[in-house]
Amino acid sequence: MNDQQPRRTELRIELGDPGRLGELCDFFASVQAVARIDGNAVVVSLPGRPGAADDRHLRAYLRTWLALAEARGDQLRAKVSGA
Burial 27-45 (b: 16+ CB within 10 A, else e): bbeeeebebeeeeebbbbb
Tens digit of each residue's pLDDT (9 = 90 or more) over 32-67: 999 999 999 999 999 988 888 999 999 999 999 999
Global pTM value: 0.86
pLDDT at 3: 56
Supply the pLDDT for residue 9.
87
Digit-coded pLDDT (tens) for 73-82: 998 999 999 8
